[in-house]
Structures are given as structure tokens and as C-alpha cells.
Structure 1
């Protein structure tokens, strides 16, 4: 028996998407890219704290606030019917802060968040120099997050950065503790080999796992099909589109500076009509005329 998943809550739609997985989860760095991802056939999208920070001109070290994160989440969620998983860094404080973090992301229309067990100031998960809080502190945050959500299907994902700090066994032990605390899914950050990804999945049979395929980091490049065969339900590409877009912007600006004209870039551009089509421009105009009784 089939049903319309759009009638479900965002969290329920994300769960349905990963159950049909493995789910390819692209990072979208603005609401229009989210609309594009939906048009191209993706089943869910992701808002990266790294992309949000970089797009604001600052490094991913916890400088942006909860308000800035949830404003971006709200605009993105409003632009698409796809469920949106959001990076929530360390939860923007301790356990009581995490309660508010969950409620604000849920109110923004997100399908779920992931929380990480780093200490502040946090760092990109694939850089050295990280430190992690105790497993007990992180488990308390997970319990607070689960208690705070209003929709039972709102996803609470636990990310552990412990592998690069304390080793594989500690990361695995933490994942088990976080699942016991109520986490819906686990995000093991900075695995360094295919074997480590496989061992992690085998040690947590039945758990919902996310594999992070960020570029230029510690993890090898593996495809979605391979991860699905290992048992991973979600495969994240958090900055892929952002990095390509930034390189294209750099090349375009350099050419403009050197040549004094944009004509060399025209073949690489999204056209005006393509942009208007993605925006649904004609639909806005038609509705505006309808509201005036067609007299405009």
C-alpha cells in the first residue's frame, strides 16, 4: 500500500528516505541549491556548518550562533519539500542549551540534527588538534535532545570525533553509549580506511549509520553503492557542491579581472530563463495577477 510521504513530518520523511537507501545526502549551501537538488531527484538535503561558516567568511570553529544556524535552516526548509538534516555543531552549549537547540531547529522545519562530541572551540572533523568531551557529557546531551523534541520522528544523530583523538575502539564504544542514550543514528567522523568503515558497521548491526565523504580529508573516496553494501544508510557529501561553486566563482572573477568582459563565461552560466524556471518565476506572476482578479 503506497502513501504520500509529503503528508509526513520532516523527520518521518527523512527516516523513510534512509530506509529506501542507501541515501545520497548532498550539502546545499543556500535555499536555491536545495530547490535544485529536489528537481534533480535527491530524496533529502543537508545543511553543513562548515559551508555556512565559510559562506559567512569565517572558519568552522564554532563562531556562528544558534540563531544564524536556525535562520539558514528555516530558509532552506521553506525552499524545498525535501527533508533537511542540519549540522548543529556541539549543540551550542551544555545539555540545557541542547534542549533549546532542538526546539529551534524543529520549529525551523528541519528533519533532524547531528550533535558532535568535540570540545569548544571545535574544529573541522578532518583536521588535527581536536579534543572531545567525555562520553558521559555527550550522552547527557543526547538524552536532553531526545527529551526536548516534540515530534517523535525528529532525528537526533550523534557524531563522534573520537577516532582521531582516542582511536577506533573509543569511537565505537562512544557510538554504543550514544545509541543507548537515545540517538537515532551515528555519524563516525574521519574514518581513515575502507576497513575502518567496514569494521565500524559490522560492530553495530542494525544501527543507522552515516558515512561522511568530504573532500581532501582523512577518509578514502568510496561510492554510495559500496557504503550501502557495508550497511550505511546515509552517505554525506557536505561541501562537494560548495567547493565546485567556489572554484567556478574564482575562475569567473579572475577571467573578468583579466579580460574586462564576462563573455568568456557565458557558456558556463545558468541562463536567465533557467534561473527563472528554477525559481518558479512565472508561477509568482500568475498568482499575483489572480489575486487582483486578472485585471493587471
Structure 2
């Protein structure tokens, strides 16, 4: 199965393709019940794997090992992987891209930030000189075979956003992402300067970008929408609520009923991930 080509085919469709941010195998198991694509979010992975913020702690062997586990359990899902700045060094970036392609990733996102890096939706981001990023991007593009490569800029000054978006669109990158874009008007501006190049939009709860539906994004000419943290933030909220309720009940578990999750429901979800149990391809969502 050619995973990069399947993602390219989805990008070429008229509607916007959603990719749901997952942070561990359990969140991926739930996301796979509802959507055909996953985004391996740096924010979520740093939180889940290290218990740390998304400011550059991720080690590339950890993200590769996670994608290997995902691909075995989810052979039909699109897997788009956030590789931050390629882990600083261009040679490392190329090595990671080849590792991810070999283990079945569909695509990667490579940003133009310099260290110390930040989540794309917080203040304090700094970007590499454009030529330096373009050299790194070109090496990555030469090192991949079919892998989808998303070129991302974290520029925050308005003229620089458009200058970089136009420059990235002139490369062989497959998709362009301006992260932290602040308005519908700026989505239109970016769409205008990148021509026919596919456009990706990232929205995160509490972030800088507007909350837009998939039909609204399609109207704006957005080809892919990534949702970085809905699973992580939902887990944060639900776990906190469950533990507060357990504490209030003096340690007595709530009664198990049709609207709650117990052993049987959780096992039923996880057993689907055993590779020999994979069934036929589902209809798309």
C-alpha cells in the first residue's frame, strides 16, 4: 500500500481532508473509529511521552518508534508526522524522513523555526533565515521517495509571512502551512500567493487561528486541516473530572452502565489493533 500516494489522492479531492491529532496508541485507537487520517502532533507527543511542553524536547528515535507502532495497528490510516525543525541538523532531518518513510508514514511537516522552538500558536517564535531553511527543505525533498512533505513557516510579521509562503510554494514541497494564521482574510492572502500549491490549515483550541468548519475551509481553498490537540485536551478534561468525582465519592467507583466505559468496552477497542484482526477497508468519513 503506497501511503504517501493515498494521502496525495485525498489532498487532490475537492473537499478538505481532516487529520486528527493523536498523542498515544489509545487516543489513536479512538480517532481511528471516526476519521481516516491522523496527525502525529508534536504538542501531544511531547506531553504524552515526556510530560513536557512542545519546545524542542522530542528525540527523533522516539517519534519514529511511535509511528512504527501506529502503522502496524492502523494500516489504512493517513499518518502525517510533525518533525518540528527536523531535529536541528539538516542531515538528521533527512535521516528521520527516510526512517519515517520506511516505516510507513504518509507525510511530514518541516518548519522554519530556530531553537529554542515554540508551539506554532504561542508567542516568542523565531525563524531561520529563509535561505537556510530552503537549503534544509531542499535536502529533505531530495532524500524522500514519495513521502508528502509539508513546508511550514512560523513567520509572524505580515510581509514576511507572504514572502516566505511564496518562496515555499516555488519549491517541490507538496503542501504549504503558515502556522498561527490569525484570520480568514489571511488565509485568503496566503492562498493568493501560493498559486495552485495545496494549503494546510492548523487549528488548536485556545490558539491564534479562527475556529472554522471543514465546509468553510473548503470554500477558502484549504486542502488539509490538522486538529493538533482535540484528543489531548479532551483527555485532560475527562481524566481530571473523573478523578475529582472519585475523590468526592471517597474512592467508590461509579456504577457501570450503558453510557460508561468499562473493561469490556476498552478491550473491544484495543483488540481491533491486533494486526491479524484487521478487516476490510472502511468507507471514508
Q: Assess same fold via TM > 0.5.
A: yes
Counterpart in the other structure of 1:10: 3
Q: Name which of 164, 183, 198 aligns with 2:173.
A: 183
How far the C-alpha of 1:268 sits from its partner, in A, is 5.6
Any unmatched runs of 5+ in structure 2? Answer: 278-285
Residue 73 (structure 1) aligned with residue 67 (structure 2): yes
Greater relative contact order (Cα < 8 A, sep 6+): 2
Q: Classify 1:283/1:71 alpha carbon distance in 2 versus 1 (closer, same or farther; 3 Å).
A: closer
Counterpart CA distance in 2 for 1:176 and 1:38 is 35
Q: Which deviates the most, 201-210 or 85-94?
A: 201-210
Residue 227 (structure 1) aligned with residue 217 (structure 2): yes
Q: How does 1:113-262 map to 2 (within 5 A)?
A: 113-149=108-144, 151-152=145-146, 154-162=147-155, 164=156, 167-259=157-249, 260-262=251-253
Q: Classify 1:273/1:179 alpha carbon distance in 2 versus 1 (closer, same or farther; 3 Å).
A: same
Counterpart CA distance in 1 for 2:276 and 2:257 is 27
The 3-state SS of whatever aligns with 2:151 is strand
Q: C-alpha offsets along residues 19-62 of structure 1, whole Å, 9 cap, x if unaligned? A: 2231111112222332333332x221111010001112111111
Counterpart CA distance in 1 for 2:272 and 2:107 is 30
Q: Classify 1:170/1:34 alpha carbon distance in 2 versus 1 (closer, same or farther; 3 Å).
A: same
Larger Rg: 1
The 3-state SS of whatever aligns with 2:32 is helix
Counterpart in the other structure of 2:24: 30
TM-score by length of structure 1 reads 0.86
How far the C-alpha of 1:185 sits from its partner, in A, is 0.6
Q: Classify 1:194/1:283 alpha carbon distance in 2 versus 1 (closer, same or farther; 3 Å).
A: closer
Q: Classify 1:213/1:282 alpha carbon distance in 2 versus 1 (closer, same or farther; 3 Å).
A: closer
Q: Name which of 92, 100, 122 aligns with 1:97.
A: 92
Counterpart CA distance in 2 for 1:43 and 1:189 is 23
Counterpart CA distance in 1 for 2:159 and 2:233 is 32
Contact 2:73 2:273 in 1 (8 A): no
Alignment RMSD, CA only? 2.2
Normalized per residue, the structure richer in helix is 1
The 3-state SS of whatever aligns with 1:206 is coil
How far the C-alpha of 1:266 sits from its partner, in A, is 6.1
Counterpart CA distance in 2 for 1:261 and 1:276 is 22
How far the C-alpha of 1:232 sits from its partner, in A, is 0.5
Contact 1:24 1:236 in 2 (8 A): yes
Contact 2:200 2:225 in 1 (8 A): yes
Q: C-alpha offsets along residues 233-284 of structure 1, whole Å, 9 cap, x if unaligned? A: 0111110121011110011111112211121686663233322322236988
Q: Classify 1:285/1:219 alpha carbon distance in 2 versus 1 (closer, same or farther; 3 Å).
A: closer
Counterpart in the other structure of 1:292: none
Any unmatched runs of 5+ in structure 1? Answer: 1-6, 287-296
Q: Classify 1:208/1:282 alpha carbon distance in 2 versus 1 (closer, same or farther; 3 Å).
A: closer
Q: C-alpha offsets along residues 167-220 of structure 1, whole Å, 9 cap, x if unaligned? A: 122122212222333211111111111111122112223111111111101111
Q: Classify 1:284/1:50 alpha carbon distance in 2 versus 1 (closer, same or farther; 3 Å).
A: closer
Contact 1:140 1:181 in 2 (8 A): no
